[in-house]
Amino acid sequence: MTPDLNKNPNEISQMFDRVAKKYDLLNDLLSFGQTKRWRKVTTSIIAPKPGMKILDLAAGTGSSSEPLRKLGADVVSADFSQGMLDVGKIKYPKLKFVKADALDLPFENETFDLVTISFGLRNTNNATKALQELSRVTKPNGRIVLVEFSHPNQKWFRNIYFRYLVGALPLISRVISKDSSAYVYLAESIKAWPNQSELAKLMMKSGWRDVTWQDLTFGIVAVHIAFRSVSVFEPNSAN
Ligand SMILES: C[S@@+](CC[C@H](N)C(=O)[O-])C[C@H]1O[C@@H](n2cnc3c(N)ncnc32)[C@H](O)[C@@H]1O
């Protein structure tokens, strides 16, 4: 079943269970190899170092976590799709995988130096709650690096890109994976997702301050960077 934009958590996790085995391959093909470049830029923004405690939320098969672990960071890769976790444990046996829902994280307050989420926030059915949970588990002054599909800035390019998303992408993915429903959902969810400045505003209301962002590939992807603000989860906080 194709999830709709209500993003029912059962349907979303089942969809990722179904695509898990071909997820990384399809990612590379459908982004024309851009995914690798996006990860390189993200890794340099995160600047992982030995001893740094990082939560990679919605880590899927761990492809977003592995570059951070390789540079010595202490990474926890959390996701709620058992299928994605199972593929990840085989692909990256050195990663620490944890089954977790973004809306109810099983971690103590102020655990991580940095939290990151790549191509995951859009799939939750409550982005505000997920951002607040991420803020809760981040140490004071810790950072978030949020990678997500966004809206290309140039109108002419945005039109071509959205046509590719809605028209060509599900067709190509059907040939490769025999199941295009996940990519129909992908296209629709990207179109409906807030643009760069709207997402920055949402972050500021959800436990983060000093939000900036960097566009990648003309704004197809944006990396938002922010610092944890005064806690939104503690009673009596003056956020
Ligand atoms: C597009 S994949 C991204 C995986 C990885 N971060 C990457 O960059 O390749 C999105 C992931 O978000 C996970 N996800 C979606 N909603 C979630 C939630 N509420 N809690 C935890 N994981 C979630 C899915 O299971 C899926 O593995």
Beta pairing partners, 74: 53
Q: Per-residue confidence at 165, pLDDT binned at 50, 70, 90? A: confident
> Average pLDDT, whole number, for the chain?
91
Over residues 55-83, the mean pLDDT reads 98
- What pLDDT is stored for residue 232 in this prediction? 55
Is 97 near ligand 1, meaning CB less than 6 Å away?
no
- What pLDDT is stored for residue 225 in this prediction? 98
Q: Per-residue confidence at 65, pLDDT binned at 50, 70, 90? A: very high
Atom of ligand 1 nearest to the CA of 27: 9
Is 77 near ligand 1, meaning CB less than 6 Å away?
no
CA of 236 to the centre of ligand 1 (A): 33
Beta pairing partners, 228: 208
- What pLDDT is stored for residue 178 in this prediction? 66
Over residues 60-71, the mean pLDDT reads 97
- What pLDDT is stored for residue 181 in this prediction? 79
- What pLDDT is stored for residue 233 in this prediction? 56
Instruction: Tell me the percentage of the chain whose pLDDT exceeds 70.
Output: 94
- What pLDDT is stored for residue 184 in this prediction? 84
Atom of ligand 1 nearest to the CA of 59: 6
- What does the chain look like in DSSP terms, one character per residue? ----TT--HHHHHHHHHHHGGGHHHHHHHHTTTHHHHHHHHHHHHH---TT-EEEEET-TTTTTTHHHHHTT-EEEEEES-HHHHHHHHHH-TTSEEEE-BTTB--S-TT-EEEEEEES-GGGSS-HHHHHHHHHHTEEEEEEEEEEEE---SSHHHHHHHHHIIIIIHHHHHHHHHS--HHHHHHHHHHHHS--HHHHHHHHHHTTEEEEEEEEEGGGTEEEEEEEE-S-SSSTT---
Task: Identify the weakest region by mean pLDDT among 2-6, 11-15, 34-38.
Answer: 2-6
Is 13 near ligand 1, meaning CB less than 6 Å away?
yes
Over residues 87-110, the mean pLDDT reads 98
- What pLDDT is stored for residue 239 in this prediction? 42
- Rama region for 81: left / alpha / beta (φ>0; ψ in -120 to 50; rest): beta
Over residues 182-195, the mean pLDDT reads 89
Q: Per-residue confidence at 179, pLDDT binned at 50, 70, 90? A: low
Task: Identify the weakest region by mean pLDDT among 85-89, 169-173, 174-178.
Answer: 174-178
CA of 59 to the centre of ligand 1 (A): 6
Beta pairing partners, 222: 148, 215
Q: Which domains does the chain have, with CATH numbers?
A: 9-152+194-228 (3.40.50.150)
The residue whose CA has the least distance to atom 1 of ligand 1 is 119
